[in-house]
Amino acid sequence: MPKTVSDRLILFLATGFYSGYSPVAPGTAGSAVGVGAYFLLRPFGWPAYTAVTLIITLLGIWISGRAETLFGQKDSKHIVIDEIAGQLIALFMAPATWWGVLAGFGLFRLFDIVKFWPISAFEKLKGGAGVMLDDVAAGLLALLALQLILSGI
C-alpha cells in the first residue's frame, strides 16, 4: 500500500477522490463523480471539456497502471478513474437536463457492465491501457447511442 506522498496522490486520483472505496457499486460511484465533472466542465465549452477529458484519459492510463501495482491486482474494483473518463465521454454534448444526463449515465453503465465486443477486447490489454480503454470504448458507444436517441433515430 502507499508509502509515499506520490503513492497516496496516485490512489486519491485512481479511486476518484476515494469514491472507488464505496462498499456498494464502486464503479457507479466513480461514474457519479464523472457526472459531477460534467456539470463542472460544461460551462467552459466543448474545447475545455474535450481537453480535460483527454488529459484525464491519458493520465489515467499511467495512474491506473501505477494503482494496479499499489493494490497488487489487475483492475482493482477501487480504481474508478476509468469510469470518470468514460462517463465524461458518454456525456459529451449531452443536454444538461435530468433526462439527458440520466440517459447518458445509464447507457454508459450498461455498456461498461455488459462489456460486449469490441469493449471486451480492450479489457484484455495489459496495465493501465487495459483498465482505461474498455471504459473509453464504453463511453464512445454510450455517446453514439445517446446522440442517436436525441436525434430521433
Per-residue pLDDT of the chain (153 residues; tens, 9 = 90+): 567 999 999 999 999 999 999 999 999 999 999 999 999 999 999 999 999 999 999 999 999 999 999 999 999 999 999 999 999 999 999 999 999 999 999 999 999 999 999 899 998 899 999 999 999 999 999 999 999 999 987
Taking the model in full, what pTM does it have? 0.95
Q: Would you tell me the crossing angle of helices 46-71 and 127-151 to the nearest 10 degrees?
A: 140
Give residues with Cβ within 8 angstroms of 120, minimum separation 6. 134
Chain-centroid distance of CA 37 in Å reads 11
The total number of structural domains that make up the chain: 1
Grid-cell match 487495459, residue found? 130
Residue 65 structural domain: 5-151
